[in-house]
Structure 1
Amino acid sequence: MTLSTRDLTLHQLKIFWAVAQSKTLTKAAKQLGLTQPSLSQQLAKLETNTGTLLFERRASEMALTEAGGYLLPKVEHLLRTLGEVEDGLQQFQDGKRMTIGIAGVNSLLRVLLPQALADMLDSGHALDFDILEAAPNEVLEYLYARRVKIGLLAANSVAEAGVGFVQVPLLEDPYVLAVPSSLKLEATRSIDDLSAEQQAQLNRAIQFSFGTQHTNQSIDWYDRVLPDHYITARCRSFETAMALVSAGNGVCLTPLMVAHGLDRSGVTFYRFPNQIRRIVALVPTQYLRAEPYASLIGALEKAAKGYQAPETVGAPEWLVARALG
């Protein structure tokens, strides 16, 4: 079969790239905002047009064939070049507002973004913003798909991002143990200082999960610090987790920043040394010093410097020893 470049469409190449990155048709369809049947149809047309299979269909994933592996870097280069052309031409569109896509986890969008965007608008930039709240892995998917230009997440919440992205450090956010205020741990020297009822309450773990990496880290932490714990509830909403803690249902390991600006009555936060998440802005390399992205990154750095963390209490030494062990 003779291949003509007229047989290939940009839409099909974007679909190929998304499937190669996400490894599944379901994730790729969600990433591109398409139905799965439509995506599958376009992918089949691309394989027909190229005259070869680009993916090996497996039970749980789509694996690149040798031909697909050859095509992927070519398509990545093409899409990156087209993106740079589109962004470069925007500077000549006098009178038109530029849209910047930003994706991030809830706490970072709530705490850092409002002041940063206010600074950008006050500086006279003709901008509007497309803001997507997402789990850490979804933030990466949006960046890979070029739906956003900046991602806000914890550097240790996902596997390392691929080549072409720069991590701009913003701040360090400690992990804390949220405990019902009625359960006083400050003066305890061991778990034996607590009554049987209090020990039972301390060992009821509420698992606040917002990504696979965080979930795995919290499981490991509970195993070390509270070896007799059991999971009494799982949730992805911090408001729900804190309501459960405040009502005395158990304790919850959580990043401190997620408590910022929310009702924290009835909850005490115990801090532990060396238990932090590094908050970063993840930016494609070509936008790091390009405007208006460079100004937005600067505004995010300024907002991070002005952040005031909620009040915490030092964890008792016996719990700290377990955490460090």
Structure 2
Amino acid sequence: MLDSRRIRTFHEVATTGSFTAAARSLGYTQPAVTQQIRALEREAGMPLFTRSGRGMQLTEAGKTLARHAEVILGDIVAAQQQLQALARLRAGRVRICAFPSVTATLIPKAVAELLADHPNVRVELLEAEPPESLQKLLAGECDIALSFGYPGLRAELPAELVEIQLLEDVLTVLLPTGHPLSRRRVIRLAELSQARWVAGCPRCRANFLQICAEEGFDPDIVFTTDDNLALQSLVAAGVGIAVAPSLVLSFLNHRQVTGRQLEPHVRRQISAYVLREHLPLPATELVLDALRAAAEHSRC
């Protein structure tokens, strides 16, 4: 059985290239590092390093262990953070990681309702776009992640996560006020094949390119931005037109931009994600119930 402390020391030696540098980084003495590496080599049954001048070189066995060491140490850190998350949840502290349009809409309603009935629950908010939010959840950096996905572009869900679907958000085409097509209630995407476009975040951009391809054209994207206010300002200034989620328009709508229904209808699915073993915990259930109620209210 390989000792995790020795693996950590081995990883530091492999990274820094010397026992002395590893000892300095870890706060050990050099003899202590040497002792741990020799003990690890006895466990492995073969040498892990050879000397090369003043530095160290990995043997073939060392290279094999090095490929696994970072994963092993990463898993240990994730396990520690998930255990800490479990302790926080049991104490009534819940960390939500969400993307901007949800932090401006669903989150305020959900947290206000939750605190009105359960003032002892503490909610903390982090902001990240998917898929980073799901990576933070798996790493134990948050307890509930809010993410969105588009049909045909959704990745397979890791087995340890549970998805709670909250809301379908319809996409809208944004035009500068006075645009000839702004008089129409519904606009077909194919009618805009010659337009210049402002595109959003990478995930939204990938979906946009896919739906344009399905309509038979390659859009002329002249600008990209993750900032919803900047996107609408660029549309208002005539730089290009854009596609944006209706949820964004519910809290941010530039007065010189007109939103119109798009055909074919395109929706993104907004969901909450939680670690399977954390789902039954009271604090988790309370926050998820509040998010469901906020999502239902937004549909009304």
Q: Deviations over 1:185-228 (max 9, x none)?
A: 32899999x9xxxx79x61111112x3x3222222333454836
Check 1:103–1:228 CA distance in 2 against 1; reply closer, same or farther (3 A cut).
Answer: closer
Question: Residue 269 of structure 1: which of 260, 263, 266 is its match?
Answer: 260
Amino acid at match of 2:211: W
What is the identity percentage for the equivalent residue pairs of Structure 1 and Structure 2?
Answer: 20
Greater displacement, 138-147 / 72-81: 72-81
Taking the aligned partners of 2:165 and 2:189, their CA distance within structure 1 comes to 38
Tell me, in whole angstroms, the C-alpha distance in 1 between the residues paired with 2:187 and 2:94: 52
Match of 1:122 in 2: 116
Alignment-derived partner of residue 86 in structure 2: 87
| Mapped partners of 1:108, 1:240: distance in 2 | 18
- Matching residue's letter, 1:253: V
Which of 243, 246, 252 in structure 2 is aligned with 1:253? Answer: 243
Q: State whether residues 180 and 246 of structure 1, in contact with CA within 8 Å, keep that contact through their aligned partners in structure 2.
A: yes
Are positions 1:206 and 2:198 aligned together? yes
Cα distance in 1 between the residues matched to 2:82 and 2:187: 59
How many residue pairs are counted as aligned between the two chains?
A: 258
- Mind listing any 5+ residue stretches in structure 2 that lack a counterpart? 16-20, 27-32, 42-47, 50-62
**Alignment counterpart, residue 279 of structure 1, candidates 270, 277, 299:** 270
Checking the alignment, whether the CA contact within 8 Å between 2:134 and 2:147 is kept in structure 1 is no
Q: Given residue 251 of structure 2, which amino acid in structure 1 is its aligned partner? A: G
Structure 1 moving runs of 4+ over 6 Å: 187-192
Q: Which residue, out of 165, 175, 178, partners 1:169?
A: 165
Which amino acid in structure 2 is aligned with residue 167 of structure 1? E
Residues 247-282 of structure 1: CA deviation (Å, up to 9, x unaligned): 222210222212221133222232334411111001
Pair member with larger Rg: 2
Q: Distance in 1 between matches of 2:100 and 2:219?
A: 28
Residues 160, 3 of structure 1: alpha-carbon distance in 2 compared, 3 angstrom cutoff: closer
CA RMSD of aligned residues (A): 4.1
Q: Is the contact between residue 134 and residue 145 of structure 2 (CA under 8 Å) also seen in structure 1?
A: yes
TM-score normalised by the chain length of structure 2: 0.70
| Alpha-carbon displacement from aligned partner over 1:10-66 (angstroms, at most 9, x marks no partner) | xx8xx99xxxxxxxx9xxxxxxxxxxx99xx67xx8x9585569xxxxxxxxxx957
Answering whether residue 181 of structure 2 is matched by residue 182 of structure 1, we say: no
Change (3 A) 1:8 1:222: same
Q: Give a deviation string over 1:89-147, Cα, whole Å, max 9, x none.
A: 864x6xxxx43211111001111100111112111242333211112121022112101
Contact 1:175 1:272 in 2 (8 A): no
Cα 1:148–1:50 change in 2 (3 A) is: farther
The structural deviation recorded for 1:290 is 1.0
Q: Among 92, 95, 99, which residue is 1:101 paired with?
A: 95
Unmatched segments (≥5 aa) in structure 1 = 17-24, 26-36, 54-63, 310-325
State the distance in 2 between where 1:105 and 1:231 align: 23
Aligned counterparts of 1:110 and 1:189: Cα–Cα separation in 2 = 28
Aligned residue type for 1:102: I
2:104 partner amino acid: R
2: CA distance between counterparts of 1:255 and 1:151?
19
TM-score (norm 1): 0.65
